[in-house]
Structure 1
Amino acid sequence: MADEVSLQETVVGFIGGSAVLPCSSKEPPLTIQGIDVRWRHSGQSVYDIINVNGSVEEQKHEYNNRAETFPEEYKTGNFSLKLNNLQHTDAGEYKCYIMESEVHLLWIVELLIKGV
């Protein structure tokens, strides 16, 4: 099992707007059945993708109905997160863990929030 850390990305969003936080595996997975993806902000759950299904079971309530992914993109290895109705409290470092059988990928995305 190899651990790999990607370069940090920076995304700028505006209060009340939306931002897409990038997260993808370098090669499209052969099968997405066994892949788990976990999005975290300050250690709190933002969104999970478990066996191809989005899961909000552990999601912190601040992200209810504001976090979404793009299921049609999973097969290409794209597990990016779209955060809607941005708030000042959304600013900070997000971590996206992609857990495949042999490789664990970690994306670190810094979200900067600008006022209107």
Structure 2
Amino acid sequence: IYSLCALMLVINEVSSQSVTVEAAVGDSVILPCSSSHHENVFWQYRDAKTLYDIIDGKENFHDQDGEYRDRVKGFPSEFTKGNYSIRLSDVKLNDAGTYSCKIPNFRTVRVELKVNDVLVCCGAAESFTETSVDLGQNVTLKCEVSVRDVLWFLMKPSEPPVFILRSFSSIILEPDYSNTTFSKTFSLRYNSSLFIHNISTNEFGVYYCSQTQTGSPSDISRGIRLYIQNHSA
């Protein structure tokens, strides 16, 4: 899925190295780290929370902080090549900060993660279409963004936008839901269309899809407003 060779951090043999990466809310991001030394590597957030350990060349999740469970993955097949990068999925605003890849007695690679709140730019899509639905109905919303790797959001009046899920360009990968309960109501169809099952008043509002990683207004679809006749969304 990812070109690991391109993402590997090429660094000189020094004691410390820093790099900055950016991601959007709900995105997945690679935190790079590589070295030709050691089989023990320890990833931490702000030098306090444990994300991912590699001990004797093998993954170890024993001390992993619960906040990162099922969100952090390494690339074991790349360990022998010196690639100790990790993938952090379902990025949240509070994931921003400094991550450290610690290789004892050799090197610490510090990765500064900047998180862009793509939610705020949904409002940049000024126009939207309207779709009338009935309670209990199923409906499919088409994503106008010309990629399959997208984010879906729901906006309601006077409420902050809600990130629903992220789709991936690879058909092998299941969508990432911001809340597991959303999988009971929302799913994906062809070309990253959003399928909504058994609509209730909770699903009324304006839906947007956005291309991942950029979050610029040009990468956001027109909104689709779901409503019932004579019912305020």
Do they superpose with TM above 0.5?
A: yes
Q: Structure 1, residues 57-115: CA drift from partner, whole Å, max 9, x if none?
A: 1111010000001111111111001100001111000000123xxx5111000000011
In 2, Cα distance between equivalents of 1:21 and 1:86: 12
How far apart are 1:35 and its partner, in Å?
1.6
Q: How does 1:51-66 map to 2 (within 5 A)?
A: 51-66=56-71
In 1, Cα distance between equivalents of 2:64 and 2:14: 25
Kindly indicate whether structure 1 or structure 2 has the higher relative contact order, using CA contacts under 8 Å at least 6 residues apart: 1
Give the strand-richer structure, 1 or 2: 1
Other structure's SS at 2:112 match: strand
Other structure's SS at 1:97 match: strand
How far apart are 1:5 and its partner, in Å?
1.0
Other structure's SS at 1:65 match: coil
How far apart are 1:4 and its partner, in Å?
1.1
Other structure's SS at 1:72 match: helix
Aligned to 1:113: 115
Note the residue ranges of structure 2 that are not aligned, 5 or more in a row.
1-12, 119-233
Q: How does 1:6-45 map to 2 (within 5 A)?
A: 6=17, 8-25=18-35, 27=36, 29=37, 35-42=39-46, 43-45=48-50
Other structure's SS at 1:75 match: helix
In 1, Cα distance between equivalents of 2:107 and 2:85: 13
- Which amino acid is the alignment partner of residue 54 of structure 1? E
Note the residue ranges of structure 1 that are not aligned, 5 or more in a row.
none
Give me the TM-score of the superposition, normalised by structure 1.
0.84
Identity %: 34
Task: Please provide the CA RMSD for this pair.
Answer: 1.7
Give me the TM-score of the superposition, normalised by structure 2.
0.43
Larger radius of gyration: 2
- Which amino acid is the alignment partner of residue 41 of structure 2? V
Runs of 4+ aligned structure 1 residues displaced above 4 Å come to none
Q: 1:76 aligns with which of 75, 78, 81?
A: 81
Other structure's SS at 2:78 match: helix
Other structure's SS at 2:70 match: coil
How far apart are 1:50 and its partner, in Å?
0.7
- Which amino acid is the alignment partner of residue 9 of structure 1? V
How far apart are 1:49 and its partner, in Å?
0.7
Give the helix-richer structure, 1 or 2: 2
Other structure's SS at 1:109 match: strand
- Which amino acid is the alignment partner of residue 16 of structure 2? V
